[in-house]
A and B are shown apart, each in its own frame.
Chain A
Amino acid sequence: MVKTRITLFVLAFLLWIFLHWSVDAGHLAGGVLVGIFVSFMTAGLFKKDAGISRKSPSAITSSDFRSSMADYFILSHTVKNMKRYMWFFFYIPVFIWECLKANLEGAWRVAHPSLPIRPGIVKVKTTLKSDTGLTFLANSLTLTPGTMTVDIDRERGFLYVHWVDVKSEDIDKATELLVRRFERILKRIFE
């Protein structure tokens, strides 16, 4: 909880500074006040990621807590997760490229006189488990060529995807065509 509050405070404070883009005493004091307010009001919304480890609240001992606090401040945490950050920065250009293709394709479909669409909702599989990973996958699918996530079945690992131009109704084929290229990278970042 303390960890969440500190993270939220830092984020809110940074956002405040960026929004005002001037560093003087008045703005900094306002940022601190707003940061404290926001972190206390919203920290309860951010529970520990349920996808990775499902510990009940009572199972988290005080030593657990202390080690996680130490992890948070010590550099080893950063080094341990360095690979993930690297993959994340690799993911951004891939995503922008796919997004650009999606937009050109979408514009072509819209502008074409005969409206070449074959819409339908298909089902695809995913092996991602964590909340953040699934969210990123669903959002990436929504912003890329002709697909939009309609619903997620977390227990069975299915995504229901609306596809403007259905190339295959088969679950494995559709998974291959839609999910693979993102899942490969997202698995390295979030799992």
Chain B
Amino acid sequence: MNEIIAYVFIGTGLVFDFFGCLGLVRFPDIYNRLHSSIKCVTLGTSSILFGLFLYKGFSPAGVKALLCIVFLVLTAPVSAHVLARSAHKSGVKLWEKSVCDKYEEDERVHS
């Protein structure tokens, strides 16, 4: 029974990871690509790791998988934020059909 649930989690994770990678190819600019890669990959990879935990139980591998989930959830958004911020600071433009850029307006006012 545990194994079946584990396979379901791993399968779901693979689907989300696939969509994340697809988004990396399809989206037009760096900011949108970060969206798809961070979100889908965080949940996808977390659920693969959780599936591994269910499969292995409280063994060294299983507990390491749980710890990996915690670190992934804590660090992935920070890295996304840093990449987006540094891209914006070094002058990477938003997609030409973007609606608004309040950040750039404020930068111009303050500098």
Contact = CB atoms under 8 A, between A and B. Distances in A.
A164 B32 contact: yes
B60 A21 contact: yes
Contacts of A15: 67
A106 B39 contact: yes
A48 to B, nearest CB: 21
Contact of B98 (A18, A22, A106, A120): A120
Interface residues of B, number: 47
Could you tell me the dominant secondary structure of chain B's interface residues? helix
Given A20-B60, A103-B43, A121-B101, A110 B22 contact: yes
Could you tell me the dominant secondary structure of chain A's interface residues? mixed
Contacts of B63: 18-19, 21
Contacts, number: 132
A20 B20 CA distance: 32
Contacts of A115: 26-27
Interface residues of A, number: 39
A52 interface: no
Interface in A1-58: 15, 18-22
12 contacts: A18-B67, A21-B63, A22-B60, A99-B39, A103-B44, A106-B40, A115-B26, A121-B100, A148-B35, A149-B77, A150-B81, A162-B35
What 6 pairs between A and B have smallest CB-CB spacing? A142-B77, A120-B99, A110-B23, A107-B19, A139-B77, A123-B102
